[in-house]
Structure 1
């Protein structure tokens, strides 16, 4: 049995999956258990849409056309990052991007190859299951945090069950398309997607692991 510590330390964004289906009952089990995530007042302010099978293929075909017609994307429901991101955070982003492209064998200044790699997001990196998360527009920052706890639970329980995930804000670039495809009501904010499947352990890109800051950088002990 995988321990919580093992799941946390081994969790990472997987960007190459095997062409191997995930049993529907296993998906339901993972989401059911993940819904034990805490939420203030037990609001449980999350919605999850699971895309598999024929719908999965239809979505990939649709995205292929959408990307070709509108590579810049659509109006987003939220900003990925603050516009005035301080240097220490910008540096982390750049280091992660550089490390990821290096693992993929892509030169950092090769814009075409980077774009081809980016487009893999909208193919779930080959994963057979796509999970999509949304939340009511009237919900506040607290409830967004609780949605994140649900997603974290899913990613950790996936590991316990021999699966892997990649949380994908990239799907929000095509929020209008996803609203239509998932038939989301207007009062819902489409947040992101998550690829779910079996990791391709031979893929070099999956060997890339992001760094974490030392405790002293972000923790204060107050005696």
Structure 2
């Protein structure tokens, strides 16, 4: 791949391909058992490594799980998740979500949750089925590939910003190969157990997990397409100077 020379595609085709890869990315929660060739996984990561990072620090570290390794870790985490007393006091390595939800984020969170549960026929208050559905995170939603991403604990918040760009690049590179993903913060509370299982050095912090594979088109949960706010909602265009400062 030549990083400087443009591909032999028309500007329109190139634009449509890139826009499609970005806009078609969504969190898939049911995957086919069809294996993803290791060459494809490596190609996805090879493309994502060109993501921007401050001072070219490239703070990402990736662990790829398939086969027996993924199955064994899933079994360990599922057992922990089914033990409320043993897992209720586990601490996450960092606060991914706010400790107190405010508008409009609270409403968006509730909507995506109830939209998913509605598709699955899970009634409000059905804690058993909610727990079972949430527990599918730890089986990587049956995806053939599971990924864990870690970062050096000595780095600052800016490296998490860099990491977000890297994760997005992984997911977009996957879409270019008609592969889907689901980034998952659900693994964070089990970061110590995951680190022990994968022998991740103490100096590395878990950022998130991710399921990767081919979407199951027959699964009802994969019909969920979340809403996005229009550009006018989150953007302010400044055409003339309004302040008094130089």
The TM-score by the shorter chain falls in which range?
over 0.9
Q: Which moved more, 1:194-203 or 1:99-108?
A: 99-108
Q: Which has the larger radius of gyration?
A: 2
Q: How does 1:157-176 map to 2 (within 5 A)?
A: 157-176=173-192
Shift of 1:7: 1.0
Question: CA offsets, 1:174-223, max 9 Å, x none?
Answer: 11111111211111111110000110011110010111112222100000
Q: Does 1:122 align with 2:132?
A: no
Q: Distance in 2 between matches of 1:202 and 1:72?
A: 34
Instruction: Please tell me whether the aligned partners of residues 67 and 73 of structure 1 are also in contact (alpha carbons under 8 angstroms).
Output: no
Q: Tell me the distance in 2 between the aligned counterparts of 1:165 and 1:108.
A: 27
Deviation (angstroms), 1:82: 1.6
Three-state SS of the structure 1 residue aligned to 2:93 is coil
Aligned length: 223
- Displacement of 1:74: 2.1
Map 1:18-167; keep pairs closer than 5 Å: 18-69=32-83, 70-72=86-88, 74-167=90-183
Report the TM-score, using the length of structure 2 for normalisation: 0.87
C-alpha distance in 1 between matches for 2:140 and 2:49: 23
Question: Residue 52 of structure 2 contacts residue 162 of structure 2 at CA under 8 Å; is this kept in 1?
Answer: yes
Task: Name the TM-score, length of structure 1 as normaliser.
Answer: 0.96
Deviation per residue, 1:51-101 (Å, 9 max, x gap): 112211211221222223334362210122122332211111111111111
Structure 2 counterparts to residues 165-204 of structure 1, below 5 A: 165-204=181-220
For structure 2, the 5+ residue unaligned runs are: 1-12, 240-246
- C-alpha contact (below 8 Å) 1:74/1:176 kept by paired residues: no
| Offset from partner CA, 1:28-70 (integer Å, 9 cap, x none) | 1110111000001100001000011221121122122222333
1 CA distance for matches of 2:50 and 2:108?
32
1:123-152 deviation digits (Å, cap 9, x = unpaired) = 000001001001011111211011111111
Q: Structure 1: any 5+ residue segments left out of the alignment?
A: none
Moved more, 1-10 or 209-218: 1-10
Report the 3-state secondary structure (helix = DSSP H, G, I; strand = E; otherwise coil) of the residue aligned with 1:131: strand
The answer on whether the counterparts of 2:71 and 2:139 sit within 8 Å (CA) in structure 1 is no
Q: Distance in 2 between matches of 1:29 and 1:72?
A: 38
Taking the aligned partners of 1:84 and 1:101, their CA distance within structure 2 comes to 23
Query: Once superposed, what is the RMSD of the aligned Cα atoms?
Result: 1.4
Q: Which moved more, 1:123-132 or 1:180-189?
A: 180-189
